[in-house]
Structure 1
Amino acid sequence: MSVSTTPRLGARPKPKRRLPVRGSGGNSIDVRLVARSIAQAVVEVLAGTRPIQQLAVSLSDDCYFSLQHRAALTREHAAKSRASQRIHLSPMVRSVRVCSISDTICEASVVVAEEQRCRALAIRLELMDDVWQVTALEIG
């Protein structure tokens, strides 16, 4: 048996990744950078080092109130456990993967590393009035 290194006839070419990098206004926006910055900000809100009001434009109402509730629960749990160290120390985004659903909708998976653990975030971004807004957010 021999191994052929030449491509087969009729082999399917790799599909090119299609990322919506331009809003309707024509300004160039990389969705990966938007997802990265929002994920970093979300974890900082959970850590209590960033006010949630800074994400008001970037999050839909449902996502905003859900994150606000989860941050309050995290603070409450930290106060009850009387832990001397904070739960989320120095979070850092490790990787971002973006899948384009359409020209105005993307989904991203983000891995964030903290001092003692890694967590995953799933983010759905929709282009609304030339601004990428999170319409679904899942935090692992």
Structure 2
Amino acid sequence: MPARPALRTDARTSASFLDDDEFFGPQASRRTELPDPSAMLQSLTHCVVEVMAGARDLEQLARWVTDDVYRSLSMRVVLANRSRRVKGVAPQRPVFRLGRVVTCEPADGVVEAVVLVHQPHRVRAVAIRLEGLDQRWRASAITVL
């Protein structure tokens, strides 16, 4: 039976000693390190409505949202495109204006908001959860109601 090599337990070789995500993954930010979320909420809502209408490419939102939100929006965009194709309707830039924005901060570095979107024949609500990561806001949840 061959001799086993000695196990090294110093910081350079121990995989369990340090988790790389602790240092190299996204870092949570405190509210004092983050800018005012109002502009981000309005811009993000505007872009999401245009993406759903097919007037804007989803890729433009990639840096503002988490991977889970991106996948969720991607599925909704595919369904919306399929629905437009079946109906024979071309994508158009939607006509809307942003209304009231209601926000709350349930935890340090987290903002939850509802933005009203006024369209000619109805009013929609877009619920957004922003989290401070790496000293900037990123949307960790978006729901278009």
Q: Above 0.5 in TM-score?
A: yes
| Counterpart AA for 1:49 | A
Q: Secondary structure at the match of 2:50?
A: helix
Q: Determine if contact 1:89/1:115 at 8 Å carries over to the other structure.
A: no
Q: Deviations over 1:77-123 (max 9, x none)?
A: 0111124784x722321121110112200100011122322211111
CA contact (8 A) 2:116 2:124 kept: yes
Q: Secondary structure at the match of 1:101?
A: strand
Q: Equivalent residue for 1:38?
A: 44
Query: What is the one-letter code of the residue matched to 1:122?
Result: A
- Alpha carbons of structure 1 residues 84 and 63: separation in structure 2 relative to 1, 3 Å: closer
TM-score by length of 2: 0.72
Aligned equivalent of 2:59 = 53
Q: Are 2:84 and 2:91, in contact at CA under 8 Å, matched by a contact in 1?
A: no
Tell me which residue corresponds to 1:103: 108
**Structure 1: gaps spanning 5 or more residues:** 1-19
Counterpart of 1:80, as a letter, is: V
Q: Structure 1 segments of 4 or more deviating over 3 A?
A: 83-86
**Any stretches of 5+ residues in structure 2 without a counterpart?**
1-29
Bigger helix fraction: 2
RMSD between superposed Cα atoms in Å = 2.0
Closer, same or farther in 2 for the Cα pair 1:69/1:85, shift >3 Å?
A: closer
Task: Give the length in aligned residue pairs.
Answer: 116
**Percent of pairs identical after alignment?**
32
Q: Which residue of 2 is the match for residue 134 of structure 1?
A: 139
Question: Which residue of structure 2 lines up, in the alignment, with residue 77 of structure 1?
Answer: 83
Q: State the TM-score, normalized to the length of structure 1.
A: 0.75
